[in-house]
Structure 1
Amino acid sequence: MVPNPTTGWERLQDVFYRKRTEYTMLWTDEVDLNEFIVAGAPYGGALVLVRDTGRPMSYKGPDSRQKMVLIYSNAGELIYNVPWDKGTIRGIGWSDDEHLILVTEDGTVRVYHDFNGGFSQFSLGKDAEDHGVIECRFYGTGFVARLSNGRFVSISRYDEARPRMLAELPKSATELHGWAIVPPSYTLSRHVEVFLGVNNTVNVLDSMDVQDKYLEEGPFSHIAVSPNGALTVLYTAYGKVYVVSSDFQKKYSEYDTGTLDSPAQVLWCANDCVAVAWESEVRLIGPAGGALSFYYDSRIWLVPESDGLRIISEDRCEFLSKVQDVVAQIFRIGSTSPAAILLDAVEQLEVKSPKADDNVQLIRSSMSEAVDACVKAASYEPEPYWQKRLLKAALLGKSVLELYSSDEYVEMCEILRVLNAVRFYDIGLLLTYEEFIRLTPERLIDRLVSRHKYVLALRLSEYLQLPTDKIYIRWSCAKVRSSTEDDKTICDAIVHKLKSIPAISYEEIARTAYDEGRSRLATQLLNYEPRAGRQVPLLLSMEEDEIALIKSVESGDPDLLYYVLLHLKGKYSLAQFFRLVNDKPVASAVVEQLARNEGPELLKDFYYQDDRRADSALVIYREALLLDSISDRIEKLKLGAKIYQDAKDPYPDAKAIEDHAKLYEMQQSFEKDYKQAFVGLTVAETIKKLLKINQSSKASKVKGEFKVPDKMFIFLKEGVYPTVKKG
């Protein structure tokens, strides 16, 4: 028999709260919470248990020392045992993406991106290393660490970690007590702020300065900011609880706990009330000073959520939250709200009572309101039986209405199916409707994949019409990491699984294989990558340079080919580089163009390596013509002629370059002898100028050296000495 939803409701002033058991813990025989510190990921995420080194531990065999950091689901099922070798842990937290953050005493920060042990690491800087970290406070994208010298260092992003020291406290701040942080999204400066109990007051720190709020009720041993950043609770060393605005301008309530025992935790239960937890008691304090107490036989830990509190004990996981007004109006005894009457009509209809029609007629004028209330109440009910009853009532009311949009009803049915699936014991994600809306379906799928729940992730993705590529890729990466089969078997299994997914990328899977030391498997997988732009960079990082070059040529992408060639040119010597591209005509043509753009030296080396003597000599010839020094020009021309002569096959241009060098030598000699400019003249111009200065023998020598035809020579000579006609 499913209990009535009102079972377990407790009145706190004018509202109801309920504490319901969600899971009976599977770890009962393995975990003693007296030995651990517990922190929970947001949005009903995983629990991390870290050994409390300040407490004595029971010896449970040689493996117990290795169980320093354990990750469990909310049902107490072990997800991952984190290998730990970095010393004392001073900070334990989670990011919004369910990444585990561990901060050590020396300021080393590890961010675990998944439940496979993959992590990134950075340091909080020299101050943290020199003075040591005492404790940390975390929010969605960053955290603040308190150092032993009284300074605070902030990290605002985990993907681009840049430690930033906050303002230094004044020398008058001799006693530091409890502290809390305000995330940047709730501050005017858009930077994290620290509320710090100093002496008997509270100081507010940011990156620039310190503000004293001049309170007198302290010292405050515990400080906590509400999830929406609007309210702050201050717990004094004398057992009093104050709720004030976060600008400390207004005090809303005051409560005396009646005990001087320091609580283990002081947190907010959503934005509605404050929860104070001792070793075995949780006291819920309302806004007007009322209180509810819940007692336990063992140590407990509270995990705050945006709409309630998770209570973790050794034998169960519970959820404490406010009963929403719409739920209270429907299920409260004697309720006459339209939604309550509509729900009763369903029950009457099932027993075929005519009273069902009477109920419908009674609320016909407010039927739309009743349907909306039933749909909304279903989102707050964790029990599938009552979800179905409320949705059935909404369906009945909807059938009576002539015009009513069913979109919200259909969407709620879909979401509740998803929530019930992930709340199941095997998954252990304690996710509420409001948190699901904030988390988004895509990020929920990511959480399932990180837990290796691939089948459920696929089914939910198909049900919600989300892309499934990432799930298949993550499954393939996990198979590469865990499988002990040979490379071909693994490759065939992955390709068989992924062949029905159009245009799926194999690049990430191949990179995982390479990181695992399976280069051959990585190369095999890359053969199935449809986009060369993803194949080639990984092949280069794997040092499969020739394959990368071939793939870039086959891609037909000139930018990709240029990228590969420039990478290889910087990696190899010129001789090795030219040999690599020599037998690839397309790559060779691109290299030739690159060489033309870069300069003659590279072009000459390329032609020489490719045994293209004529092209190499032609480059030298062009280079010689640009030289200012005639001697250097002659040397270059002789070098070009020699390259021609060394070729296996004769080149007709070799004689022309050789003759050009001879002409320069002769012109250089004429300039020296006759003190006139000859360099740069053609053969014909040189002969003509020699004849003009009465050097017929030199002109004849030039004629013979360059085989100038007799007719041409006579023509040049007559041009110098024109014949005079006799009259």
Structure 2
Amino acid sequence: MANVSVAAEWQLLHNRYYRKPELYPMRWKHIDLGRNKVACAPFGGPVAIIRDDSKIVQLYAESALRKLRIFNCAGIQLAETVWRNPGGRLIGMAWTDDQTLVCVVQDGTVYRYNIHAELLEPNFSMGKECFEQNVVECVFWGNGVVCITEANQIFCISDFKNPKSCKLSDPGIEDLPHCMVVIEPQYTMSGNVEVLLGVGEACVLAVEEDGVQRLGEGVLDGPLQRMAVSLDGKWLAAFTHDGRLLVLTSDLQKTILDRECESALPPQQLAWCGMDSVLLYWDDMLLMMGPDGDPVRYFYDEPVVLIPECDGVRILSNTSMEFLQRVPDSTVTIFRIGSTSPAALLYDALDHFDRRSAKADENLRLIRPSLHEAVEACVDAAGHEFDISRQQTLLRAASYGQAFCSNFNRERIQEMCRLLRVLNAVRSPEIGIPLSIQQFKLLTPPVLIARLINAHQHLLALRVSEYLGMSQEVVIMHWACSKITASLNIPDATLLEVLLDKLKLCKGISYAAVAGHADKIGRRKLAAMLVDHEPRSSKQVPLLLSIGEEDTALIKATESGDTDLVYLVLFHIWQKRQPLEFFGMIQARTQARDLFITYARCYKHEFLKDFFLSTGQLNEVAFLLWKESWELGKNPMASKGSPLHSPRTKLIDKAHSLFAETKEHTFESKAAEEHAKLLKIQHELEVSTKQAIFVDSSINDTIRTCIVLGNHRAALKVKTEFKVSEKRWYWLKVFALATTRDWVALETFSKEKRPPIGYKPFVEACVEADEKAEAVKYIPKLADPRERAEAYARIGMAKEAADAASQAKDGELLGRLKLTFAQNSAASSIFDTLRDRLSFPGVS
């Protein structure tokens, strides 16, 4: 009998069963859908209602003020607000995918509300032309809208998150179309929205951004009055001028269905019921038509609104919310009148088992080969049921059959129980989200949880997340932010305890994000208290900066050891604070100070000088000035002007005076003084010689260059100014004269007095210049016979080298010299003779 009562509620459309259970009796009062504009969100979303100002209606006891009211699917009011938006009559409204209510008014302005009837900023416009021409109709989809104006121009916003209005091609029509539908961008070849216009001809205009096409010519025999596109964008249902229902491919090239309807008047609403049938609604009748068989009629004495879903249509009336859907195959096999399928027998076996009848065992034996399929059918049918008692009975039947079915996945029933608990929880009238199992799978659990928390159903969202094994962080975060917003009168310390009690439930939760929300609504002290609990410095430090806690941010950044974070804080404070205040903050923190100095040495010399001056580090300022003088030297323009007042010398003079302030830098002070003096002399030399070859050379090179240029007076001046020793002076002059090959001057210089460096440098200078004849003049003057011997050997004079070596009486020297002349047999014999004469044993 149970099977008969279940199937008695079904209607047969050709060979397919449909059912229309009531989801909720509506709890609202004094709502007449015929007097209002209504927007219903798919997937069991909210219902928005506002009085239709295009109709003359009788105001009962309600206020003359128009109110936008938002209800759940059970008619429980969620929010309301007074409609104050200017811009003319409300043309259309609809819910987006993220459950934002979008309202388009006559002048093309778009207003958006959340589920709590709060106006979202900013508003935006469809454009100047829409404002001038007035919008007369609009069609919504997902996250976009298409509007047509009184001038028959079409405008589109394809994504409300990036609301840029674009004008589609001019359809070139004089009268407004009979109907207008949209094929969403995801289903078009071009990837852009396509608008289908039913005009007063036997064709349909397909309007896109880059052109207009005429579709259906030769297929249609008259204008279309109503159109509806299937959810997959492949099919178009249309009502013709002569009262026929057509189903065509969306490109209108092929007719799939052509059936006569019972009225030639265009239906008020036309909608797809899943993918198997089409619904047409007139004032008192809802007609369901399929490919074959007689249509099914439903009669209403009140207005209804059709809400297409992926697996059926929800029907909203003044008094109830119903769901018209095709009966799932698993349900049909169990509850169809006279069914003897294994699933039906298993369901019947449970009834016999409950009544302790032996017939239960008989049924099980009959279906044992198909027991697996019977159990699966019962589980699947339970998932499609809205009636909780019927869900329980079907799952009990599945569990009863599973006990005798060894190869059935035992987790399947547990999964279905878990899923149905979630669905039943959100279907309760207080929540009012009547999702079917197919809708739930398409929507996905994360989206459902997001919708619950947006509706401030945090406790249920938390329990669902926990039950489905999902992260609870997003729920707790949203609850915390909402709690802060709603608790403006609660003291910070009290509210902090409440928040921490819940936030600690979720490991790794972002305290910084919650603190950021607190700061955003003006609770800076609470934000500072919250951010102190954030363990991740990378999130903690930026927020501390944003709420003005620079000192704390610098401490946390340096404690983290992350140089990037320290620099972030330093640059932030640098911009916000006065220099002296900034210097005071970083002086006591070694890491921050060192990082600042490292950066400023490369990019901010002047600022770094101010820092060193403020902290009394005069020597560091001096080093910076000295470095700047070298940097100036790389710029040719810096050396121009008076050599005594060049920018470089001024910088070095400043460095000298700063070094002189402290006893610890006497050497640097003296070096800077002499550097400045040398630079001045070098400038004078470049001016007098007109050759830029002196500046930045050493004292030695300066003297050598003067001698090479023949300016001996200048060389002597440099010698005297810098107290160059006689030995260094002789070395420099000897090699400088040799460089210029002025041998006469070199000889004269050697005879001025006995050279303090001896005559060896004279010999080396001549040998390096490959002037052996000149070298011979100085070799005899070498006092050490070893030096004489080696000098003679270097210029190839073997006999003289041997004589000098004999005077030295050095056997090792004789051996070296013999090796030097190894290629010369005559010279080698000289050394052999000398060896024999002196009888040195070690020479061979």
Q: Find the aligned partners of 2:522 and 2:419 in 1 and give their Cα distance.
A: 42
Structure of greater Rg: 2
Identify, as 1 or 2, the structure richer in helix. 2
CA offsets, 1:385-405, max 9 Å, x none? 111111111122222223222
The residue number in structure 2 matching 1:41 is 41
8 Å contact kept, 1:423–1:429: yes
SS class of match (2:20): strand
Do residues 104 (structure 1) and 105 (structure 2) align? Answer: yes
Summarize the Cα distance change of 1:59–1:605 in structure 2 as closer, same or farther, 3 Å threshold: farther
CA distance in 2 between counterparts of 1:60 and 1:505 reads 51
Counterparts of residues 618-637 of structure 1 (less than 5 Å)? 618-626=623-631, 627=633, 628=636, 629-630=638-639, 631-637=646-652
- Judged with a 3 Å threshold, the aligned counterparts in structure 2 of structure 1 residues 536 and 160 are, in CA distance, closer, same or farther, namely farther
**Residue equivalent to 1:612:** 617
Q: Deviations over 1:35-56 (max 9, x none)?
A: 3211211111111113312123
Pick closer, same or farther for the CA change 1:310–1:685 going to 2, 3 Å: closer
For 2:682 and 2:537, the matched residues in 1 are separated by 59
Residue of structure 1 in register with 2:464 after alignment: 460
Matches of 2:357 and 2:542 in 1, distance apart? Answer: 72
Tell me which of 587, 590, 607 is aligned to 1:585: 590
Determine helix, strand or coil for the equivalent of 1:284.
strand
Contact 1:243 1:254 in 2 (8 A): yes
Aligned equivalents of 2:698, 2:474: Cα separation in 1 = 73
Where 2:7 maps in the other structure, the secondary structure is coil
Moved more, 366-375 or 148-157: 148-157
TM-score normalised to the size of structure 2?
Answer: 0.79
**Cα distance, 1:718 vs structure 2:** 8.9
Identity across matched positions, percent: 35
- Aligned twin of 2:421: 417
Structure 1: distance between partners of 2:551 and 2:104: 44
Q: Residue in 1 aligned with 2:365?
A: 361
For residues 501-650 of structure 1, the aligned pairs below 5 Å read: 501-569=506-574, 578=583, 580-598=585-603, 600-626=605-631, 627=633, 628=636, 629-630=638-639, 631-644=646-659
- Distance in 1 of aligned mates of 2:571 and 2:304: 61
Match of 1:115 in 2: 116
Judged with a 3 Å threshold, the aligned counterparts in structure 2 of structure 1 residues 118 and 356 are, in CA distance, closer, same or farther, namely same
| Letter of the structure 2 residue corresponding to residue 38 of structure 1 | V
Shift of 1:515: 2.2
Q: Report what 1:376 is aligned to.
A: 380
1:706 Cα offset (Å)? 4.4
Q: What residue in structure 2 maps to residue 438 of structure 1?
A: 442
Preserved contact between residue 254 and residue 289 of structure 1 (Cα < 8 Å): no
Aligned twin of 1:134: 136
Matching residue of 1:183: 184
1 CA distance for matches of 2:293 and 2:307?
23
Q: CA deviation at 1:615?
A: 2.0
Partner Cα separation in structure 1 for residue 82 and residue 571 of structure 2: 42
- Structure 1 segments unaligned to the other structure (5+ residues): none
Amino acid at match of 1:591: F
The one-letter code of the counterpart of 1:664 is: L
Query: Equivalences for 1:651-670 in 2 at 5 Å?
Result: 652-670=667-685
Cα distance in 1, alignment partners of residues 265 and 33 from structure 2: 20
Deviation at 1:90, TM superposition (A): 2.7
Mean alpha-carbon deviation: is it higher for 551-560 or for 669-678?
669-678
- State the partner residue of 1:208: 210
CA-CA distance at 1:340 after TM superposition = 0.8
User: Do 1:617 and 1:644's aligned partners in 2 also have CA atoms closer than 8 Å?
Assistant: yes
The answer as to whether partners of 1:111 and 1:158 remain within 8 angstroms in 2 is no
Could you tell me which amino acid in structure 2 is paired with residue 9 of structure 1? W
CA positional deviation for 1:339 = 0.9
State the secondary structure of the residue aligned to 1:45.
Answer: coil
Structure 1 residue 521, shift from structure 2 partner: 1.6
Q: Which residue of 2 aligns with 1:74?
A: 73
Aligned mates of 1:428, 1:489 — CA distance in 2: 34
Query: Structure 1 residues 422, 573: CA separation in 2 closer, same or farther (over 3 Å shift)?
Result: same
Aligned-pair distance for 1:476? 0.7
How far is the alpha carbon of 1:72 from its aligned partner? 0.8
Q: Structure 1 residues 717 and 205 mapped into 2: Cα distance closer, same or farther (>3 Å)?
A: closer
Give the match's secondary structure for 1:396. helix
1:179 CA drift (Å): 1.0
Aligned to 1:682: 698
Distance 1:669 1:560 in 2: 52
Cα distance between partner residues in 1 of 2:251 and 2:709 = 104
Q: CA deviation at 1:309?
A: 1.4
Counterpart position of 1:302? 306
Higher mean displacement: 406-415 or 299-308: 406-415
TM-score (norm 1): 0.91
Q: Which deviates further from its counterpart, 334-343 or 192-201?
A: 192-201
| Distance in 2, Cα, partners of 1:333 & 1:685 | 117
CA distance in 1, matches of 2:471, 2:733: 90
Give the aligned residue type for 1:76: G
Distance verdict in 2 for CA 1:569–1:116, change over 3 Å: farther
Quickly say closer, same or farther: Cα 1:227–1:289, change in 2 above 3 A.
Answer: farther
Distance 1:126 1:611, change over 3 A: farther
Cα 1:375/1:665, change in 2 over 3 Å = same
Structure 2 residue 275 is matched with structure 1 residue 275? no
Give the Cα–Cα distance (whole angstroms) in 2 for the partners of residues 562 and 233 of structure 1: 64
Alignment correspondent of 2:739:
none
Q: Distance in 1 between matches of 2:440 and 2:56?
A: 39
Cα distance in 2, alignment partners of residues 248 and 685 from structure 1: 95
Residue identity matched to 1:132:
N
Is 1:14 the counterpart of 2:20? The answer is: no
Alignment partner for residue 331 of structure 2, among 323, 327, 330? Answer: 327
Q: Give how far 1:701 is off.
A: 6.4
Tell me, in whole angstroms, the C-alpha distance in 1 between the residues paired with 2:12 and 2:705: 121
- CA distance in structure 2 between the aligned counterparts of 1:553 and 1:279, rounded to whole angstroms: 73
Give the partner amino acid of 1:297. D
Q: Give the letter aligned to residue 561 of structure 1.
A: V
Letter in 2 for 1:4: S
Seen in structure 2, the aligned counterparts of structure 1 residues 495 and 647 have a Cα distance that, compared at 3 Å, is farther
The aligned residue for residue 249 of structure 2 is 245
Answer whether contact 2:452 2:458 (CA < 8 A) is retained: yes
Does the 8 A contact of 2:515 with 2:526 survive in 1?
Answer: yes
CA distance in 1, matches of 2:130, 2:536: 45
- 1:572–1:160 CA distance, 2 compared to 1 (3 A): farther
Query: Does structure 1 retain, via aligned residues, the 8 Å contact 2:152–2:174?
Result: no
SS at match of 1:387: helix
- The residue that corresponds to 1:163 in the other structure is 165
TM-superposed deviation, 1:227: 1.6
Q: Residues 221 and 536 from structure 1, CA distance in 2 versus in 1: closer, same or farther, beyond 3 angstroms?
A: farther
Contact 1:21 1:316 in 2 (8 A): yes
- How does 1:77-96 map onto structure 2 within 5 Å? 77-82=76-81, 84-87=83-86, 88-96=89-97
Q: Would you say the 8 A contact 1:66–1:83 is kept in 2?
A: yes
The separation in 2 between residues aligned to 1:514 and 1:639, in whole angstroms, is: 50
How many positions carry a matched residue from both structures?
Answer: 724
Alpha-carbon contact 2:135-2:150 (below 8 Å) kept: yes
Q: Contact 2:239/2:266 (CA < 8 Å) preserved in 1?
A: no
For the residues of structure 2 that align with 1:457 and 1:47, how far apart are their CA atoms?
21
Q: Deviations over 1:121-163 (max 9, x none)?
A: 4443333334333332222233323333323233333333333
Letter of the 1:660 counterpart: H
Counterpart CA distance in 1 for 2:540 and 2:83 is 35
Contact 1:39–1:92 under 8 Å retained in 2: yes
Counterpart code for 2:166: R
Alpha-carbon distance change, 560 to 155 in structure 1, aligned in 2, over 3 angstroms: farther
Measure, in 2, the Cα distance between the counterparts of 1:647 and 1:217.
105
- Alignment-mate amino acid for residue 407 of structure 1: E
What's the CA shift for 1:253? 2.7
Label 1:128 to 1:609 Cα distance change in 2 as closer, same or farther (>3 A).
Answer: farther
Q: 1:565 to 1:107 in 2, by over 3 A?
A: farther
Amino acid at match of 2:11: E
Answer with 193-202 or 97-106: which moved more.
97-106
Retained in 1: the 8 A contact 2:152–2:175?
no
Q: Quick one: higher RCO (CA 8 Å, sep 6+), 1 or 2?
A: 1
Match of 2:808 in 1: none
Q: Is the 8 A contact 1:28 1:315 kept in 2?
A: no
Q: Does the alignment pair 1:494 with 2:499?
A: yes
